[in-house]
Structures are given as structure tokens and as C-alpha cells.
Structure 1
Amino acid sequence: MSIAANVEAPKADLSLAAHGRTIPAERLGPLQPTDSAIGIDAIRHRYEEDGYVWLKGLLPRSEVIDFRRWVFSRLAETGLLEPGHDFALGIAAAEDVDWSLADRRLMSIVRSAAYEGFCAQPPLVRFMDAFLQGISYLHKRKLMRYTKPGTATATPAHYDLVYLRGGTSRLVTAWLPIGDVPAEMGGLVYLEGSHAIGRGMEAEFRRRSGDLSPEERISAYNSHMAEGGWVSKDLPDMADRFNARWLAADYEAGDVVLHSPYMIHAATTNQDRAGRLRLSTDIRFQNVDDEIDARWNNHWSLRDML
């Protein structure tokens, strides 16, 4: 069995944009999926080589869809959802959203037993134990994001270690689409081969950070970092600068993407023609015996500066 499953090139008419810039077709490529049946050693090797693995169908699809339905049922009172549809569809309302209430409900959801159970479901935990070659530790600070179609919301390019410098660098981020997330819905895109670029950037930061206090050195908001710890908001420029492609995918409920803490990634705007909300969560695992960044021992809060 081959390591990569069959995958098609991005659709010819696919247009992905973020922060007012459209990624040219020649700077787009396909994220390569991995069949989990190839075995943990081969998966780990591919992760080291590519900086990511996109595991198809690792989680039960029906349970992911049910959780999507549960999340949106809890957000319905905010006006975020168009009435009259199955909450699992996640059809966004056109207007009259109470964003303050939506923020409060989101913070309640990420503190819920249901969310904890979703992130720590047995198939994922068993896989991470094997992948990390020991007992896996799931960081308490876990992020959930929803994105309305037709808005400018998009996560700029970054690598995750910027926000987790207070512990081990042997971290693994797991990104879980909560529902189907075709490329035009604004799922994660990865800069091809950029785990090597991220390592170089981090080495340069360490070289220049001798004048910083220990507290500043681990902060993504210190004087040597760009705003918010981002690498760039200009995805086409980054692709040109490093002569690389942004790798995109049509994710499905049940998929899991693991990526290196040095892998540069971003999200694009939600251009879903059916008006569906993109829903996803990103969580961090590590071996429990490695040093843990104590700042991540609290639940995620909006504007917590991490």
C-alpha cells in the first residue's frame, strides 16, 4: 500500500484568498492524504519528511457530525444560525448576530465536558500515544473556531511554536475539521516544506533574543516578533518569497491533520456558496514526560495573549 492515498490537484477554478490577496493558481497545490493503515512508523516518517500528515477518516464521521450539531445548537440563541435548518448543516444567518453572546457561549463550549470528550476521544488518544511513543498529554488550552461565509476573517500565516516556547518543542498540533470543510470554506493551508523554514526562523529568533527577559523570550508578542506573532498576512508574497506552494485540501468530517510546531500554515476566507459556517478545533499533544508550557494549563480565553 502506498503511503499517500490518491489525491487530485486543486480544482482549476479554485480561488483562495485571505486579507485581500488571492493566491495564484500556480502557487496552489494539493495536500497529500495519508492512509492510517500504513502503520505508525511510516506515518511518523512522513510527518518528519513533510511537516504534516493528513489522516483520512481517523475519527468516526457520524460522531463528528453529531458534535457539530451539538455545538451549533448551543450557539443558536446568538442569532449565528439561520433558523429552519438542521444544526449539523451550520447555515449561517445573514445578520442580527449577538457577537457578545456568541463569544460567551463559545467560551462555555470550550470548557464543557462534551468538548473535552470530543478532543480526547479514544481513537485519537490511542493514535497519539503510539505516535508520541509514550503517554500523550493533551493541553488544557484548546481552541475552537467558526467562520462565517462572506467575511474577511482568516488566520494569518504562522508556526505554532511561537505561542508555546515555555515548554518542549516536541509538540504536535492536531487540527480537526468539525464537519466537511472543502477548500473554498477556508480550511487550513500549509506552505510546502515550511517546517524547515520555521526551524530557521526560530533559530534566528533565539540568536537575537539575548536582550529579552525570560518572560519576554517566550511571549509571541515580544519586541522581536511581528504583530500577534504572525509570520505574514500576505500569503501570495510568502509563496513567492520561498518559491513554494500553499497546499489546500477538501477535508471531511473524521479527518485529522497533524502538523509540526515549525510548519507554517494559515487559513483562507470562507467562500462557501451554500452559506455554511466553517467549524474546527486545534489542539496540542506532547509526551507527558516532556516539559509542559505552564501558560497552556488554563482554558482558552479570548484575548488571553497566547
Structure 2
Amino acid sequence: MSSLAVQSRDAPAVELFADGKRLSTAPNRMGRLEATDPGIGLEAIRERYERDGYVWLKGFLKRDDVLTFRGFVFSHLARSGLIEAGSDPALGLVSGAEPEKQLADRILMALVRSAAYEGFCAQPRLTRFMDQLLSGISYLHKRKIMRFTRPGTPTATPAHYDLVYLRGGTSRIVTAWIPLGDTPVDMGGLVYLEGSHAIGKRMEEAFAEKSVELSAEERISAYNRNMSEGGWVSKDLPDMAERFDTRWLIADYEAGDVVLHSPYMIHASTTNRSAEGRIRLSTDIRYQNVEDEIDARWANHWTLGDML
């Protein structure tokens, strides 16, 4: 395990873990995301997005709507033994027993195909905002991902940037990461490598130069020989902060928040260490202008093991 020691503004140090070697990280390698009030207006939001590679919109969605949807998801996943029997599904309290993984996977795949999930992702306020941000009619990719992570497990998403998986279409993609419920630092929400939208762009340019001899199919694959397996930039988060002389930015997310990030922005997650035993639940969806080229591979529902 690699560890990142974090000093919260109002709490003792929190130890964050991700895959990789164990490493004690210096304070100058950690920071916090800058929150944005959606009320500052579109142009100011766009300016921050371009400058920072992300914009964290506080309370953009109705909190109650997000918590209701969280409860809907866990009420269905309860059949797999994932949550504590008899508890409020919206709390997402982990069961003390091992869930039936195959059943949980089948339920999750059904949920991402449901009208309820589609409606949540395509709710009017978010759709209208993306139309404005993208200066046209926004297209929501059919392949939408919803993840849950139990506390006490080593599950974490290694560092990567999204364009690795979306090279078959335009690079003008905007990812919306939505925490489905309050997600304080110890629950392992997304962390962002500060300033890495510029790093990701340089990586992509270098990849393009090395890949001219590859077939079109190989060039759009995250698994080709010029990119590490899985498209991960690295599994060692502390090492990346040192290597690029920057910081990992963390946040205490709340239900209703939406984080938009550039397809070049390097991000990852840490393991869920919730002391309350709460399961992290989130969704990541991607938008683009409908007039731009669309990666056909993302025109299908997300399926576990679909190699994207």
C-alpha cells in the first residue's frame, strides 16, 4: 500500500491509501480542491475549468434528489447482502458478511441500464448547463459508469486521464464525476493531480508521435504497446506527485456536488476507510457537443470487463 498523510482543516491527520509502494508524503505534495459556487456564472466557470482542468460545483444538484437516488441503488443491491440488513439503504452501511459478488454485479449492470439512472444522469439542470458549457447541443455518452466501493477493501482506481479510453472520437470531452452521497476524504473520492491537464496533453502528444506505425484500432486502444496496461499512468500516487513536482488535490464531497474535469486531467481514487462503515457510491458520465465526432465504442451500455 502507498499512503498519503493528509491534514484536514478541522480534524486530525487522515491517512489515505492507494495501490503501490508505501511512502510517507511531504505536506507540499497534498492540497485541496477549490470549490466553485455555480452562481458565479458560465463564463467564470469556464475560465476556471480551462485554467485548472477541473471545476468543483458545490451543491449543483438537489441534495435530496441525490440521496433518494443513492437509496434507490442500495435498496436493489441489498439483495446481494452488500448493505447491513434492516438499515436505511440511503446510508449505505456495509454488511459484516461478504456479499454475493456475481449477484451484486448483475444488479449493478441492470441499474446502469435503468430508466431511473438515465433520468438521473440526464436531469434538466445538468443537461441545460452542459449545452451552455459546450456551446451547442450536448451529447451524453451511453456508456455511463456507476461504482460502489466497500470500506476495508483495497479497491482504488489508479491514476489515469480519460482520453486514453476515448481516442476514437473528439478530444473535446467533459467528464462529470458525481458523488452519490456525502463522500468525505476518508471514503476515498476522486483526487486530482494539480495542473495535470497540461501533463496529460503532453503525454498524449508523445503517445501520438510514437504510435504513427500502429493501426487505427491499436491507436485508440488503451491496451496498445505504447501505453501501460489498462491505460493507467501510474499506480504509485506519491511517486507521481514527486515526479511531476506537484500535489494531489483532495476534497470532502457532499451530496449535490458535481466535479467536471478535462479529458487530460490525471485523477485517481483512494481506498475507502470510512470509520462509519459507509459504502462509497459515485457515477462518472461524459458529455461532448453532438456535432463533434463520437467514439462509437461508447455508444453501448457499460459492461463489466468490456476492456474500456
Normalising by structure 1, report the TM-score. Answer: 0.96
Structure 1 unaligned regions, length at least 5: 1-7
Distance change (3 Å), C-alpha of 1:134 and 1:71: same
2:175 corresponds in structure 1 to 173
Distance 1:156 1:22 in 2: 16
Find out whether 1:260 has 2:262 as its counterpart.
yes
Counterpart contact for 1:17–1:23, Cα < 8 Å: no
What pairs with 1:1-306 in structure 2 (closer than 5 Å)?
A: 9=9, 11-20=11-20, 21=22, 24=25, 26=27, 27-306=29-308
Distance 1:290 1:10 in 2: 45
Distance change (3 Å), C-alpha of 1:123 and 1:22: farther
Listed one character per residue, the Cα deviations across residues 133-192 of structure 1 (whole Å, up to 9, x for unaligned) are 111100000000000001000000000000000000000000000000001100000000
Q: Aligned to 1:274, what secondary structure does the other structure show?
A: coil
Taking only the aligned residue pairs, the percentage that are identical comes to 68
Give the CA deviation at 1:24. Answer: 2.0
Listed one character per residue, the Cα deviations across residues 97-151 of structure 1 (whole Å, up to 9, x for unaligned) are 1000111110000000000000001111111111111111000000000000010
Listed one character per residue, the Cα deviations across residues 23-73 of structure 1 (whole Å, up to 9, x for unaligned) are 625121010000111110010011000000000011000000000000000
The code of the aligned residue for 2:86 comes to: G
The code of the aligned residue for 2:16 comes to: L
Moved over 4 A (4+): 8-12
Give the CA deviation at 1:211. Answer: 1.5
Normalising by structure 2, report the TM-score. Answer: 0.95
Aligned residues: 299
Listed one character per residue, the Cα deviations across residues 66-93 of structure 1 (whole Å, up to 9, x for unaligned) are 0000000010010101112100000011
Give the CA deviation at 1:96. Answer: 2.9
Counterpart contact for 1:15–1:23, Cα < 8 Å: no
Counterpart contact for 1:188–1:266, Cα < 8 Å: yes
Structure 2 unaligned regions, length at least 5: 1-7
2:4 corresponds in structure 1 to none
Distance change (3 Å), C-alpha of 1:167 and 1:157: same
Q: Aligned to 1:253, what secondary structure does the other structure show?
A: coil
The Cα RMSD (Å) is 1.2
The code of the aligned residue for 2:122 comes to: A
Q: Aligned to 1:53, what secondary structure does the other structure show?
A: strand
